[in-house]
Amino acid sequence: MKTNPLDVLRRRFGLVLHGVALFLLTLCGGSFAGAASAPVVVIAVTGAIGPASADFIVRSLGRAADDHAQLAVLELDTPGGLDLSMRSIIKAILASPVPVAAFIGPSGARAASAGTYIVYASHIAAMAPGTNLGAATPIQIGTGGGDAMPGTGASAASAVAAQSTESRKQVHDAAAYIRGLAQMRGRNADWAERAVREAVSLSASEALAQHVIDLTAADVPDLLARLDGRRVHTLSGDHVLATKGAAIITLQPDWRSRFLATITDPSVALILIMIGMYGLFFEFANPGFMLPGVAGAICLLIGLFALQLLPISFVGLGLIVLGIGFLVAEMFLPTFGTLGIGGIVAFAIGALMLIDTDVPGFGIPVGVVAGIVIVTALFIFSVSTFALRARRRPVVSGAEAMLGTVGVMLDAQGDDAGWATVHGERWRVRSAESQALPARGARVRVTARHGLTLTVEPLNGERQ
């Protein structure tokens, strides 16, 4: 039987097409398998939003992008936090190539104030039953007419007007910011603005009904199951989530985040400043001791680094420095407690004014201030008491220590010059007021010293 060359060519071409199709299917299958196996990163955020939590979240989102995660979940439970820290987190969310889901959970958690902004900025917003969000009005000590200090005359009225203007500016800015986030994510912008202007809050079911969030879920696994197949748009393009059964990677704060959280605690920062100042003072008072200077410099630098991350009042910081200066001066100047009491008052007021915000978790407790003041006062007044007692003691060294000392004559070289033993040492002596020196063995009292010569007089009129 004769083979048709055209049929052979067709069969070969068909085999090639079949192989190409199998190859493409293999590639697509591998891609789908890779998408399904992409992990989900869970970032637990508890407590007040501050420099430490902002650093942790920003670095965690960067790690999620590096690990090619398909979703990053911010599990929120926060009363709010600092504006600068919140904005740095939101910038990281908006720039993240990985979709970010803000999940307020577990049940009983909340996302108040700064947490509400973070929820609105996230690509996906979800809540667990029994949670709430809202109350996003900016808060700061000294703002608002109701918090104005009482006064009289035009100066008080102008102060109230200035504070009221500043408060309105902050509220308008915050309202515009959260409205822009709501419009970007297609969520309820009117309620977002009410959360800022009227400090209103919503439960999970109410937030879902008013289109403030996208869905509710019992926990993170339930959230991932509900998000499976959802399409999310980020700066890197559209993403179709395959989160059902995906591997979960939970990120915990590392040593850097824990260290930053410790030193940015206002109470710890204040104590570090105190230790630093006193350490340097002791080093300057006792040069060469080294340990107080080294420890003081390290503590002072760490404390100042923490303060520059926190919203501080420079008036409060100035009062703290002034108070410490007064307390140190009390140890050297005979003010009978005037400088010491003034220093304690200045330090206490400065410590209470130091943190210039009313955000929960960033104030200095009155008990901490009282404890530091009491310990400092006891230390300073103890040192002052020892110094005062030392001043009242008789001089035991130097030229003044020789005055009034009793010696014994060795011999006289004429009427007004000779030698005597004083403190077991041989001294050249001369008589006072041109008097004759007593004979050998007589006791004399030192009345003056001129170089290596002592002026003496007979003791109790002893003379031979």
Integer Cα distance of 73 and 220 in angstroms: 8
Is 10 a domain residue?
no
**Do residue 85 and residue 181 come from a single domain?**
yes
pLDDT of the residue at 22:
52
CA-angle at 324, arms to 318 and 327, nearest 5°: 140
**Do residue 268 and residue 246 come from a single domain?**
no
Residue 367: give the domain boundaries: 264-392
Is 26 a domain residue?
no
State the SS3 of 187-209: CCHHHHHHHHHCCCEEEHHHHHH
Integer Cα distance of 209 and 196 in angstroms: 19
For every residue of 139-180, DSSP letters joined together read --TT-SGGGPPP--HHHHHHHHHHHHHHHHHHHHHHHHHHHH
**Do residue 244 and residue 126 come from a single domain?**
yes
Q: What share of the chain is helix, strand, coil (3-state, %, to 5)?
A: 55, 20, 30
Question: How many structural domains does the chain have?
Answer: 3
Of 392, 407, 439, the domain-final residue:
392
pLDDT of the residue at 39:
92
Integer Cα distance of 93 and 88 in angstroms: 9
List 111's β-bridge partners, or say none. Answer: 78, 133
pLDDT tens string, the chain, 464 residues long: the values are 454 555 555 555 555 555 555 555 445 444 444 444 689 999 999 988 989 999 999 999 999 999 999 999 999 999 988 888 999 999 999 999 999 999 999 999 999 989 999 999 999 999 999 999 998 888 654 333 333 333 334 444 444 445 577 778 888 999 999 999 999 999 999 999 999 999 899 999 999 999 999 999 999 999 999 999 999 999 888 999 999 888 999 998 888 888 888 888 888 888 888 888 888 877 877 777 788 888 888 998 898 888 878 877 888 888 888 888 887 777 677 666 678 788 888 888 888 888 776 666 677 888 888 888 888 778 777 766 766 666 665 555 566 667 778 888 888 776 678 888 887 788 888 887 767 778 788 888 888 888 788 888 887 755 44
Is 48 a domain residue?
yes
Is 25 a domain residue?
no
The DSSP output letter for 401 is G
Longest dimension (CA), the chain: 165
**Do residue 98 and residue 69 come from a single domain?**
yes
Of 227, 256, 285, the domain-final residue:
256
Interstrand relation of 100-104 and 40-46 (parallel, antiparallel or unpaired): unpaired
Is 4 a domain residue?
no
Nearest residue to 446 via CA among 408, 413, 415: 408
**Do residue 40 and residue 98 come from a single domain?**
yes
Is 5 a domain residue?
no
Is 321 a domain residue?
yes
**Do residue 210 and residue 319 come from a single domain?**
no
Over the range 437-449, which residues count as b (16 or more CB within 10 Å of their CB) and which as e? bbeeebebbbbeb
**Do residue 252 and residue 289 come from a single domain?**
no
Of 392, 425, 452, the domain-final residue:
392
pLDDT of the residue at 381:
73
pLDDT of the residue at 48:
87
The CATH number given to whatever domain includes residue 173 is 3.90.226.10
**Do residue 369 and residue 280 come from a single domain?**
yes
Nearest residue to 43 via CA among 69, 17, 7: 69
pLDDT of the residue at 442:
84
Give Cα 202 distance to the centre of its chain: 32
The tokens for 236 are 């890197």
Integer Cα distance of 327 and 374 in angstroms: 12
Q: State how far the alpha carbon of 362 is from the alpha carbons of 49, 81, 83, 442, in Å.
A: 10, 8, 12, 78
**Do residue 243 and residue 269 come from a single domain?**
no
The CATH number given to whatever domain includes residue 403 is 2.40.50.140
Interstrand relation of 425-431 and 237-240 (parallel, antiparallel or unpaired): unpaired
Integer Cα distance of 263 and 266 in angstroms: 8
pLDDT of the residue at 159:
43
Provide the edge-to-edge strand list for the sheet that holds 110-112. Answer: 110-112, 132-134, 201-203
Q: State how far the alpha carbon of 114 is from the alpha carbons of 79, 124, 352, 399, in Å.
A: 8, 17, 24, 71
Nearest residue to 340 via CA among 277, 385, 299, 389: 385
pLDDT of the residue at 55:
92
**Do residue 198 and residue 339 come from a single domain?**
no
**Do residue 241 and residue 160 come from a single domain?**
yes
pLDDT of the residue at 221:
93
Helix (H) or strand (E) holding 420: strand 417-422
**Do residue 83 and residue 200 come from a single domain?**
yes
Is 437 a domain residue?
yes
